[in-house]
Structure formats: C-alpha cells, structure tokens
Structure 1
C-alpha cells in the first residue's frame, strides 16, 4: 500500500531548525505565513481575520525512526511529537490576515520549522 501526498504550499516561520520551534504552537504568540501554491489558492478565500485554521504539515526534518520519546517513557503515538514514522503534524493557528492574490495566510501560533511543507488546511472541530 502507498499513500501519495502532494503539499499545497509551505510555511514561513522564524524557526530555522526544529529545535528552535516551540513544542506547541497554540501556546505561543509566534507569527508566520502559510504560502499556498498557485494551483490551490482558490481554496483559501473563506478564511478571514480572527478565524482558527488547522495547519496540517509534514515535519520533513523529523527523525522517522523514533517509537519512544521523553527518555523512553512514552510511546510516540501517545504524544504530539513530530518525531515519528509518518511525521504528519497538526497546529491550530489564528488567522491574522488573508491575501488570496499571493496565496498567503498570515497566522499566529506557529510551531513548525521554516519551509515545512503544508499538506492541508482545515477549520477546527467545534
């Protein structure tokens, strides 16, 4: 079995490495941009300032061989660690601004390294 995933864009954040990024974005005020590729930009028009958006992203620099974290205390699947066999991550952010012309969502609450691929954007569960 295989799963084909096509990134819809990339994030721009102040964190050059994964070790610089905070452990949970919702607990921070760090801002960044989600840059949506041109062919997907028509899909962001309904987001507006103040909305919440779940950024589904790929931790492309994460260690994919990790099964135990926190000094072996926890199995990786019971945590939100980006180090895991399939480093798919979810970060709920606040939308600060939307520019549909250049495909940018300015967001607050980022926890991903600069340049991380974005797989999807979703509204949060109520």
Structure 2
C-alpha cells in the first residue's frame, strides 16, 4: 500500500530552529500564520475567528529513524517508545496542534498558540471536537 500526502498549507512562524520550539503550544506557543494553498481556499468556508481547530502537520525536520526517546528530552527519565510520547521524532512525523483562530484573511489563518517551525507543511485541518 502506498500513502501519498500533499501539503494543503504551510506555517509562517518566527520559530526557525527545533531547539526554539516549546514542547507543546500551551507551554509558550506563539501566534503564527497558516498560509492555505490557493486550490484549497474553498475548504476554508465555515471557519470562524475564535474557533478551535486541529492542525495536522508533517514535521519535516523530524528524525524518522527514531523509535525510543527520553520523555520531554529529559535524560534522567527512562526511554520510552515514541508511540508512548508526543516526540516529533518518529517513523511518520505527524504533528497534532490544537489552536484558536485569531484572524482570517483571504488565504491566511492567524492562530495561537503554535509551537511549530516556519515552513512546516500542513496536511489537514479539522475543527476541534467539543466534549
């Protein structure tokens, strides 16, 4: 089976180095822009400022050979398999980011809080489920 993903958008962020990125958005995430590719503009219909969405990203700088990590990069903690962590380094580096839409203009969503590198591809956007 072959799986093909194509970016629908890209992140415009001031974060340029993996070491700058907070572990999670709520731990120091920044405001950033989601730049939607022109062919997906109709898919933005219904999105509203103030709404929570889930960004599914392709963590393009991840180590795809990594199978075990020290949780949160803390070497005093025993290693765990990446499937038991939220490490960006993993065989298929899909990131999951819950953010709030602050502003919508043409092909851009301004969102907060986001902990993702500039240029990170987005493979999907979903509305956040309510409890």
Query: TM-score scaled by structure 1?
Result: 0.93
Superposed structure 1 runs of 4+ greater than 6 Å apart: none
Unmatched runs of 5 consecutive residues or more in structure 1: none
Other-structure match for 1:23:
23
How far does residue 28 in structure 1 lie from its aligned partner after superposition?
A: 3.0
User: Which secondary structure does the structure 1 equivalent of 2:63 belong to?
Assistant: coil
Query: TM-score scaled by structure 2?
Result: 0.89
Other-structure match for 2:94:
88
Q: RMSD value over aligned CA atoms?
A: 1.2
Other-structure match for 2:48:
48
Q: Which protein shows a greater Rg?
A: 2
Aligned residue-pair number:
124
Other-structure match for 2:108:
104
Report if aligned partners of 1:26, 1:92 keep a CA contact under 8 Å in 2: no
* Bigger share in helix: 2
Unmatched runs of 5 consecutive residues or more in structure 2: none
CA-to-aligned-CA distance 1:65-116 (integer Å, 9 cap, x gap) = 11101145211001111100000111000100011x2x10000111110000
1:75 aligns with 2:87: no
